[in-house]
Each structure stands twice: as structure tokens, then as C-alpha cells.
Structure 1
Amino acid sequence: MRIIIVEDEALLALELESEVEAAGHSVVGVAADSASAIALIEKESADFAFVDIHLLDGPTGVDVGRFLASKNVPYVFVSGNIKRIPPDFAGAVGAIEKPYTVNGLQNALGYLDALISGKDGLVVPPNLIMPLTTTS
């Protein structure tokens, strides 16, 4: 998968980039604020994104997420403050709470790759928080 990382903490962005590449995916760009993230999303053709909620310009990750959703790019929030995720998850597939383990991240990435590829019968890894679904 071609992946965008939206994370304001440089060390965490580098760590996430390393783990994504170790799993056989490519990182097409990293952004630390919402304007850079939106420009990157417009420029690159990404299959997936990891988005922190709090960026250099404030808690604008939710806005970036909504923009990704409007472009039909699946994403997950990666945040230390998952309580800031709106009830509709802003269109996110799910969320990974910081701090996360390398193993947990790899399990989530494998699940997300399979989900995006359209595989059935998947088991959600325990560290991936999924939005609540309601039935009518």
C-alpha cells in the first residue's frame, strides 16, 4: 500500500514510517500540520493514511480525516487522546491509541491491508479501536 503519515511528532513519524516500510508498504509522504497534509493528499495517490488528532496547528487531525474520507482514502487515527474522536469517527476505519507496541501496530497494519484488499472473515486486532456500528 501507498501510505501517508500525518503526525506532528517527528520521532513518532519516523518510527511509524520505519514500521510501515518494514511491513512491505511505501510511505508517500509525511505531514505535520493540516495544510501540509491536505496538500500532500491532493498531490499523492495514497491507498491509506495514519492520522494523529493533534497536529502542529492544533487538533486539526479530525479535519484532515474528513478530507481523506471525502477523497475515499481509508485511514485510522493514531492518537494519545482518542476521546477527541467524534462519534462518527470522521469516516475513519478505526483508531490506534498511543503509545502502541510495534507488534500491535504490525497486527493492525496487516488487518487494515487485508480489509482494504477486500478479504472476508477478518478478526480485528485488540489494539485497533473500531467505530460503533448501529443497526436500524
Structure 2
Amino acid sequence: MKTKVLVVENEILIADDLCATLEELNYHVLEPALDYYSAIEILQTESVDIVILDIQLGGKKTGMDVAEYIRKHLNVPFIYLSSHSDQKTLELVKDTMPYGYLVKPFNAPDVQTTLAIALSNHSRYTNKRASYEKEEKVDLTPMEKVVLRLVADNRTTKEIAEWLSISLSTVKNHRHNICVKLDLPQGTHSLLKWAIENKHTFY
């Protein structure tokens, strides 16, 4: 399935040019939004994978206002499009936490690279947040969290037992309980894999 892109740009010629470029790059491009209100209407009715926002939309509402709506209501990455790349402009938009920045005039390679990086970073962030939320919801005991950290450090059951001065059976029991709480299969390397992939959530 093609990645669905919404372009928010008040200058119709630039919007059409960008949409044509995106279509050539094999993206599914929605009808561009020319102002804040049409952008919000589309975002409320269409599923979108990424949004490209012009900063200035020719009215009181700007691309940053659209960005704030996205941040509050949607889990969708957005990048800014602007003819300005000076420090003042970058400082102005950075608090909205964009996933990228395209400078006019743009070309196809720049568009492709910026969108690919934005989508990849958003996917990584979303996965990390989901893992963190899962770990937060799981009621691990303090000792189970210690064992989980040691598992993430690739320590064996024997090494964990020696490190914590507890018996092998106690460590095995902790590992079993952690697997049950995390809904992981027993008797595989699933706990090690999960601990390594999600160690940022409990360190």
C-alpha cells in the first residue's frame, strides 16, 4: 500500500508541483489543502501517513497551527516546507517538533530523502513508545526489573544468580514470571530479544 501524503500549501502552483513530484516518487497524494481550515477538515476525514506543511499559509493560521493540531490529535509525522532556512525560522518551528524540513525550491531527491527519514524516525519512535507503554503497564517487581536489566546485558541465568547472590532456581522463577507478565513464550530466546530491543524503557 502506498504511503498517503497530505500537502498543505497556500500557493497552488507550488502545491501542484510538489504533489506531482510525490506522485512520481510513487506516493499516494491527496488533494492539497490551501489553508489551515481545509487542512484540518481533511485530517478529520482522511487517514494520512505524513503531512508536508508550508509554514506561512497566507492567513492568521499558519502551518505551525496545523502542526499543533496534529500533535494533539493524531499520531502522524509532519515536515515543514519553507523558502527560509535561517536560524530565526528554525528556532520558530523547533518547539513543534517536526520530523523534517524541506527548503524551496525543492527537488525530487530531497523530497524522497526527507520523507523517508521522517517516516523511519516516526516508526521507530512509535515502536519505542508502544514498548515503553507496555512495560509501564506490566507490574514488574523491583527484583524482576533488575533481572530484566541483566538479561538485556546478555548475562546468563548462572551469571545473574552469581551477580545477585541468589539461587539458579530463583533466577529461573523471576525469568518465568517476567515472561508471563510480558506475554512472552517460555523456553525460547524471546525474553532476551525483548529485553535487548526494549532496554531503553527500563534503564
TM-score under structure 2 normalisation? 0.53
Superposition RMSD in Å: 2.1
C-alpha displacement of 1:91: 2.8
In 1, are the aligned partners of 2:100 and 2:115 still within 8 Å (CA)? no
User: What is the aligned-residue identity percentage?
Assistant: 29
Structure with higher strand content? 1
Structure with higher helix content? 2
In 2, are the aligned partners of 1:69 and 1:92 still within 8 Å (CA)? no
C-alpha displacement of 1:59: 5.6
What is the CA deviation profile of residues 72-124 of structure 1, one whole-angstrom value per residue up to 9, with x for unaligned ones? Answer: 21100011134435253413112111122222222223333443444xxxxxx
Task: For residue 69 of structure 2, give the secondary structure of its aligned residue in structure 1.
Answer: helix
Task: Figure out how many residues of one structure are paired with residues of the other and give that number.
Answer: 119
TM-score under structure 1 normalisation? 0.76
In 2, are the aligned partners of 1:66 and 1:91 still within 8 Å (CA)? no
Gaps of 5+ in 1: 119-136
In 1, are the aligned partners of 2:64 and 2:93 still within 8 Å (CA)? no
Q: Give 1 or 2 for the bigger CA radius of gyration.
A: 2
In 2, are the aligned partners of 1:51 and 1:76 still within 8 Å (CA)? yes
Please point out which of 68, 80, 83 is paired with 1:80.
83
Gaps of 5+ in 2: 125-203
Tell me the distance in 2 between the aligned counterparts of 1:81 and 1:47.
25
Moved more, 96-105 or 40-49: 96-105
Runs of 4 or more, structure 1, over 4 Å off, are none
Structure showing greater relative contact order (alpha-carbon pairs closer than 8 Å, 6 or more residues apart): 1
